[in-house]
Chains A and B, each alone.
Chain A
Amino acid sequence: MTKLLEIKDLHVSIGGTEIIHGIDLSIGAGEVHAIMGTNGSGKSTLTKAIAGHPDYEITRGDILLKGKSILADEPEDRARAGIFLAFQYPVEIPGVSNMYFLRAALNAQRKARGEAEVSGADFLALIKEKAKLMDIDAGLLNRSVNEGFSGGEKKRNEILQLAVLEPTLAVLDETDSGLDIDALKTVANGVNSLRDSKRSFLLVTHYQRLLNHIKPDFVHVLLDGRLVKSGGPELALELEEKGYAWLEQTV
């Protein structure tokens, strides 16, 4: 059966410097994968490469979504095909209300897929339901995107976008960083509620604690631009206990 996402011998450079030196990874439908690694190991680079950030150059290898290469696709094409990236540092967009932005995004995606655009009234009902699910104060919906949001509110807002856009592959880039335990639980509950047999997740994190709340099917360790070890959820616990140093010696 065709995997949802296949990454084959992926090499990624930024500004002429290679950060990722050949990664292979397959994610099946409905699976949750976690990639753990230290700062500078290439975690964020991998997520940006999947989302199609123009500054990240793929020098070798391929990324396939449902068996088709997406390397030539623009970021918006990838989003419309079902890839979602939750940003480590969500940008603030003064002057654009969260509500407007979300509806514009949803309708851009629906339009591209040949689906009818969602009316203002229907969207309002949808967004209220999703906001409740994410425990997001309705007041945030009418404020400018992420402007003046706390760190926790920004991350919850990312998960709200995930809930509204309903991607088939959600890539979460250090969504847990900077969150207190309550915010972490809210985010984890949101993600867990969106898990189903068709939607896959790639969680990128430095710490094991997110994985106490979102149980992954597979854990991979990324060090210096290479996946050095893969295993089940128990690998995360081992990393928590031993740190990354013992793996660095194996590289």
Chain B
Amino acid sequence: MTIQTENPLQSLIDAHTAGKAEPAWLSELRADAADSFAALGVPTVRHEEWRYTSLKSLLALKLAPAAHAAVLDADLKPYFIAGADDIRLVFVNGHFDAALSKLPTLPQGLLVAPLSSQFRTDDEGLPSKLARYADHHAQPFTALNMALFSDGAYIRAGRDAQLETPVHVLYVATAPQATAPRTLLLAGENAGLTLIESFVGLGKAAGFCDAVCEIVLQQGAHVQHTRLLRDGVAHHIGWNEVRQDRDSNYTHNSISLQAQLARNDVNVMLTGEGANCTLHGLVLGAGSAHVDNHIIVDHVRPRCVSKQLYRSVVDERARSVFSGKVIVRPGAAGTDAQQQNNNLLLSDDARADTKPQLEIYCDDVKCSHGATSGQLDAAAVFFLRSRGLDVQQARNVLTYAFANEIIEQVTIEPVRAHLEDVMRQRFHGLLGD
């Protein structure tokens, strides 16, 4: 990896680590991550995994270290999700905001809390769990996150524990802050959890969010995870590390509604036989937005199923990148892996790069991948116009339809309804509603 001679993000770490009162294990972890970030440096487009995504605009930002800021309930209202709002954790610039959060008493075996509240008390041994899955020795932004980390959501379900109510975690940043939120979700044997992470930027100046999410599913656990990049997201880098044991079931919906520069990594390791993983993604890009979805699904054990379906809609000068890799390890017989990426380009200057990849080291597998990039179907546009819709309405209807195929995959009803509303507003007035 190329090391930048000057790394402006380094100065954030120096400012952050000064004078922290925290447990020794966390300080050690933080120091280790900081060393790792200094050694790894910021990747450039010469690095294969960052070929399509330049971080120059990020490095040019004048960023303040994360600090407290007052945010009102009203500021966040558009981002609350009706019907999925009974358990809510709000972090403002990386710091837990109790007044904006809702934490009802939960049945035994379930924990939803800010990580910071469990540093010293967690009986499950947080020191052996936090930052033990996403590898900060290999990934520079995972390292930077750990070095800058202040707080995040901790969600834990013990054996057989089911939490029907979705947990909504809002990571709010007031620009031009640099924030480093981190989510840790541990689903025990046959446990069931639903997690929604919303990333919201308030204020006009560009900020930077470096997020990490670690999710561990024990045997037979079910986790639904939705990740929303909302308004005001300027620069976003998010790493999602998922470990799946035997017969577990993980669903991921990554919805990028707005971002100047976003990179979403999803790294799933199917370490138990018969695990099932479904990844959906939608990118809506306009202006000069650049959104990069980078996915690795690693079939380590036999008879696991993985599905990837990502779509992007890029308008004006926006650009989307899809890089999805499926690895089938020796011995992972009976693997069933599918990858599909479809891109809709609405303008001549929009661009979509797609790179679906399969690495198969095993016979007896079923793998497929495919990608399409294209414009709106002219015949369909004419058909709609011939029924009285004007050009813009016709284009909106077809764009909505293309994008909505992903929204429809969201199985958490209140989230789907919320996103359908957002989409209707985006493509306003298209259906007379």
Identify whether the interface residues of B are mostly helix, strand, loop, or mixed: helix
Please determine whether A104 and B431 come into contact, CB atoms closer than 8 angstroms: yes
B388: contacting residue among A87, A93, A165, CB under 8 A: A165
Interface pair B397/A90, CB less than 8 Å apart: no
Q: Digit string of B396-410 for contact with A (CB within 8 Å is 1, else 0)?
A: 011011101100100
Q: Chain A's nearest CB lies how many Å from the CB of B245?
A: 36
- Asked if B380 and A79 make an inter-chain contact with CB atoms under 8 angstroms apart, the answer reads no
Give which listed residue, B380, B389, B404, B433, contacts A108 with CB less than 8 A: B389
- The answer to whether B386 and A51 touch across the interface, beta carbons within 8 angstroms, is yes
Closest to B432 in A: A107
CB pair B380–A91 under 8 Å, yes or no, is yes
- Are the C-beta atoms of B397 and A79 separated by less than 8 Å? no
Chain A residues 151 to 175 lying within 8 A of chain B, measured CB to CB, are 161, 165
A94/B383 in contact, CB under 8 A: no
In the bound complex, do residue A96 and residue B389 qualify as a contact, i.e. CB atoms below 8 Å apart? Answer: no
A90 and B380 CA atoms in complex are apart in Å by 9
User: How far does the Cβ of B416 sit from chain A's closest Cβ, in whole Å?
Assistant: 14
The binding surface of chain A is classed by DSSP as: helix
B382 at the interface (CB under 8 A from A): yes
Known interface pairs A103-B432, A104-B393; A96-B401 also in contact (CB < 8 Å): yes
Chain B 355-387 per-residue mask, 1 if CB under 8 angstroms from chain A, else 0:
000000000000000000000010110111111
Quick one: which of A52, A74, A79, A100 contacts B387, CB cutoff 8 A? A79
Check if B390 is an interface residue, CB within 8 A of chain A: yes
In the complex, chain B residues 218-256 whose Cβ is within 8 Å of any chain A Cβ: none
Would you call B400 and A79 a contact (CB within 8 A)? Answer: no
A75 engages B386 (CB within 8 Å): yes
Closest to A78 in B: B386
Contact of A79 with B388 at beta-carbon distance under 8 Å, contacts A90-B383, A91-B383 already known = yes
**Whose C-beta in chain B lies nearest to the C-beta of A95?**
B401
Most buried by B among A78, A101, A112, A120: A101
What residues of A have a CB within 8 angstroms of the CB of B432 in the complex?
103-104, 107-108, 117
A123–chain B nearest beta-carbon distance, Å: 9
A220: CB under 8 A from chain B? no
- A91 & B402 in contact (Cβ 8 Å cutoff): no
Contacts of A100 in B (CB 8 A): 431
Given contacts A93-B401, A95-B402, contact A103 B389 (CB under 8 A): no
Q: Which residue of B lies closest to A89 (CB)?
A: B379
Contact across chains for B389 and A76 when beta carbons are under 8 A apart:
yes
- Known contacts being A75-B386, A79-B386, A104-B431, is A93 close to B391, with CB within 8 Å? no
Q: Is B12 an interface residue (CB 8 A)?
A: no
Q: Is the CB of A105 within 8 A of B389?
A: yes
A109 to B385, CA, bound (A): 11
- The number of inter-chain residue pairs (CB within 8 angstroms) is 83
A40 at the interface (CB under 8 A from B): no
Contact status of A79 and B385, CB under 8 A, knowing A103-B432, A104-B432, A117-B432: yes
Contacts of B389 in A (CB 8 A): 76, 104-105, 108
Does B38 touch A at the CB level, under 8 Å? no
Interface check A54, CB cutoff 8 A: yes
Residue B202, interface by CB 8 Å: no
A121, B380: Cα distance in complex, Å: 27
User: With a CB–CB cut-off of 8 A, which chain A residues contact B377?
Assistant: 91
B252 CB to closest chain A CB, in angstroms? 21
Cβ distance A27 to chain B, nearest Cβ, rounded Å? 18
Looking across the interface, which residue of chain A has its beta carbon closest to that of B377? A91
Give B166 Cβ to nearest chain A Cβ, in Å: 25
Cβ B387 vs Cβ A96 within 8 A: no
Residues from chain A with a CB closer than 8 A to the CB of B405 are 94-95
Is A11 located at the chain interface by the 8 A CB criterion? no
Q: Does A128 contact B (CB under 8 A)?
A: no
> Which of B383, B397, B408 contacts A87 (CB under 8 A)?
B383
Chain A residues within an 8 Å CB radius of B400: 95-96
Q: Max chain A CB contacts within 10 Å: which of B391, B400, B401, B408?
A: B401
Using A76-B390, A108-B393 as known contacts, say yes or no to A93 and B380 having CB atoms under 8 A apart: yes
B387 adjacent to A54 (CB under 8 Å): no
CA distance A75 to B384 in the complex (A): 9
A161 touches B382 (CB 8 A): no
List which A17-33 residues lie within 8 A (CB) of chain B. none
Tell me if A76 and B385 are in contact (CB < 8 A): yes
State A165–B405 Cα separation when bound (angstroms): 28
Picked from A51, A101, A165, the residue with its CB within 8 Å of the CB of B397 is A101
Residue of A nearest to B430 (CB): A104
Of the candidates A54, A95, A105, A112, the one whose C-beta lies within 8 Å of that of B382 is A54
Tell me the nearest residue of chain A to B382, going by C-beta: A53
CB distance from A79 to the nearest CB of B (A): 4
Instruction: Please indicate the chain B residues that have their CB under 8 angstroms from the CB of A85 in the complex.
Output: 386
Give complex CA distance A74, B390 in Å: 9
Which residues of chain A come closer than 8 Å to B398, judged between CB atoms? 93, 96
Q: Is A80 an interface residue (CB 8 A)?
A: yes
Q: In the assembled complex, which residues on chain B have CB atoms less than 8 Å from the CB atom of A53?
A: 382
Nearest neighbor of B396 in chain A, beta-carbon distance: A104
Chain B nearest CB from A97 CB (Å) reads 9
Most central of A108, A120, A144 by chain B CB within 10 Å:
A108
Chain A residue at minimum C-beta to C-beta distance from B380? A91
CB distance from B309 to the nearest CB of A (A): 13
Interfacial chain B residues near A117, Cβ < 8 Å: 432
B386 CB contacts on chain A under 8 angstroms: 51-52, 75-76, 78-79, 84-85, 87
Complex: how many Å from CA A146 to CA B379? 14
The CA of A87 and the CA of B386, in the complex, are separated in Å by 10
Residues of B within 8 A of A161 (CB): 387
B388 touches A80 (CB 8 A): yes
Q: Besides A76-B385, A120-B433, A144-B401, 5 other CB < 8 A contacts? A: A54-B382, A76-B389, A91-B380, A103-B431, A165-B387
User: Could you show 9 A-B contacts with beta carbons less than 8 Å apart?
Assistant: A75-B382, A91-B380, A94-B405, A95-B402, A95-B404, A96-B398, A101-B397, A103-B431, A108-B389
6 A-B pairs with the lowest CB-CB distances in the bound complex, closest first: A95-B401, A105-B387, A109-B388, A75-B385, A79-B388, A108-B388
